[in-house]
Structure 1
Amino acid sequence: MTCHALRTLVLAALLPLAACARQPEQTPVERTQTNEQGCTRQRSVGPQDAYADPAPLKQACVGPYLLALPQNYFDNQIGTEHDGSFALALEYPSLQPFKPGERKSFNKDVFARTLSINYSYVDRIDVRQSLRNAYTPMAFERDDPAASLKLRLQGQEVHGLVPYYADMERIRAYLRARGLADDAPGMQDRSHRDWYVARDRTGDIQTIVKCTSRGVTESGVRFSEGRMIRSEESELPDCDHFFILPEYRIRVRVTYVRAALKDWHRIEQRAGELLVGSISKK
């Protein structure tokens, strides 16, 4: 066999191996994402720098509304998650965003002063009903004293809110009758919430805040040089605050430490104005 013929034979044998070694073509990364309500946002592609200052604008969708916010307003400080979901995070008591990258060095003090905001677009039921669902018991819960306003202990107004405290004596009797042991976690004050409500002029509930039971007396926080920090106490009571923006069909949930309850109205205003002010005018 000649050298030329041998070379041809070797090349022919290597060609299939070379083909196998080729990398498959990558699917192009989608630069936009559109949700069910037709809102299209620009996606962040490639590595993101949470420490960028000034923070770049990132887009997010809430129902049909396109928002544009500096990325340090987002809980992860880089924008939405890959599926478009997101939460915003503000620092209490300033109600301003954390500094770029500050939440990446996560610690107990940052956790304690984080105020988390979630917006939900309500399109399958009436938006007011979505708020009523937060304080109306399901059929199987009607006898549960932890699930109903009427089975709670109404108290005197606190910070402009009417409290409906968890009736722990009634709750424990209810759970005991269903076989729960006295030392079970569900029997403890920390497992239950006090409800605080604000009503509109017609008497309908427009705000409901559910906080760790008053039976947990520790606050879990203290202030140092004007900043809230975690205390040495073991408990960290918190609150879930619900209200709606009916003209936008949006339900808002804000989570924060119970020590911030006194500022519920300021928090509610800030959460609402932040959404409305961030809607892109296109």
Structure 2
Amino acid sequence: MPVSKSLITFLAALSAVSVHAGESTSSLAPLAPPDKTEATVDAKLGPHRFRFPKNLYYQQSGPDADGGVMLNVQWPHLRPLPLGVDYHDSNDNFINHISIDLSTVEHLSDDQYRALLRRMIEPLDPEKPTPSEKVLDDLSARIQGDTSHGLTRYSVDFEKFRDFYITTYGTHVRPPDPIQNDDWYVHIGVDGIPTTVIKCTPVAQTDGVRIESGRIVDIPGRSRRATCRHQFLVPEYGLLVSLSYPRVILPEWQTMEMFVRKTLKATKAK
């Protein structure tokens, strides 16, 4: 089935979107517009059906066998690779890929769905948190940092964590490493409920990559890359969206959310 005209128009417009603070895609050669005969594969997410281009899928084949839907685009244009090109084929494509996991959320009331992201920054049972959850998995126990790009960073209180670790495991074991505990970046809505939760490699670890001419490139001599797991809701379709990408592009989180929302709207099957 052909790609809808609205999707073609939308994807073509993406090449003009600013992609990084101080940079724009104009420094890069624009990607070719999508082929109007490009194959599409339908995906069913709850009661909704979407018609995504085949090459937009993570494996370029369609939904997973269990019905799961994962998409894959490249930074900075937020466009998929051509059909037949695997993002694993080159280091450049690999470090510039952004995975987009679309999940339905079932058996929740409207209020439970709205509060879903709050459950990701509190203990599994808020009334009976475990000792480790009190230190690591409770937003209120973390150290609140600066707010930047609409996100507030919350870091593990390492002094409390070290005390917990020594009390639990003793002094004869290897001490805890701050780099093993993600920083949380949270955007709170007007009603006090989180609308975006992003968990990233802590700032104690450098990015390991940098932006050059809009693309993400490795920094020589750095073996680790800092990454983020970014989650938000799309209420009109009852979806939980999870993105994975290098931390260096975290400031563009709103651009990525907008891309997902517009893509869903453009590919919604009539």
TM-score by length of 2: 0.77
Work out the CA distance in 2 between the residues paired with 1:237 and 1:196.
14
The CA RMSD over aligned residues, in Å, is 2.2
Counterpart CA distance in 2 for 1:59 and 1:222 is 36
Residue 104 of structure 1 deviates from its aligned partner by 5.4
Pick the aligned partner of 2:49 from 48, 54, 66: 66
Pair 1:197–1:65, CA change in 2 (3 A): same
Out of 170, 174, 177, the residue aligned to residue 183 of structure 1 is 174
**Matched residue type, 2:235:** P
Q: Secondary structure at the match of 1:144?
A: helix
Task: Give 1:209 deviation, angstroms.
Answer: 0.8
Show the counterpart of 1:146. Answer: 136
Q: For residues 117 and 216 of structure 2, what CA distance do their matches in structure 1 show?
A: 30
| Counterpart secondary structure, 1:102 | coil
Correspondent of 2:145 among 142, 155, 159: 155
Equivalent in 98, 106, 120 of residue 89 of structure 2: 106
Runs of 4+ in structure 1 displaced over 4 angstroms?
Answer: none
2:255 is the alignment partner of 1:266: yes
Q: Deviations over 1:109-168 (max 9, x none)?
A: 322111111111112123123222211212344653110111111012122111112222
User: In structure 2, what is the equivalent of residue 231 of structure 1?
Assistant: 219
Contact 1:120 1:251 (8 Å CA) reproduced: yes
2:202 paired with 1:196? no
Percent sequence identity over aligned pairs? 29
Larger Rg: 1
Matched residue, 1:7: none
Tell me the distance in 1 between the aligned counterparts of 2:66 and 2:192: 39
Deviation at 1:241, TM superposition (A): 0.9
| Structure-1 separation of matches of 2:86 and 2:162 | 39
1:76 match:
59
What is the SS of the residue equivalent to 1:268?
helix
Shift of 1:105: 4.8
| Aligned positions of 1:1-282 closer than 5 A | 55-103=38-86, 105-125=88-108, 126-139=112-125, 140-141=129-130, 143-179=133-169, 183=174, 187-216=176-205, 218-232=206-220, 233-281=222-270
Q: Distance in 2 between matches of 1:176 and 1:151?
A: 18
| Inter-CA distance 178–132: structure 2 relative to 1 (3 Å threshold) | same
| Residue 198 of structure 1, CA deviation | 1.0
Say if 2:115 and 2:193, in contact at 8 Å, map to a contact too: no
Runs (5+) with no aligned partner, structure 1:
1-52
Q: After alignment, is 258-267 or 174-183 more displaced?
A: 174-183
1:62-82 CA-partner distances (Å, limit 9, x unpaired) = 111111111111111122223
Instruction: Please report the TM-score for the alignment, with normalisation by the length of structure 1.
Output: 0.74
Which digits, 9 at most, give the CA deviation of each residue in 1:184-242, with x for residues without a partner?
Answer: 6xx223321111111222222111111111111x2121334432123331111111111
Cα distance in 2 for partners of 1:182, 1:264 equals 38
Aligned-partner Cα distance in 2 for 1:107–1:238:
19
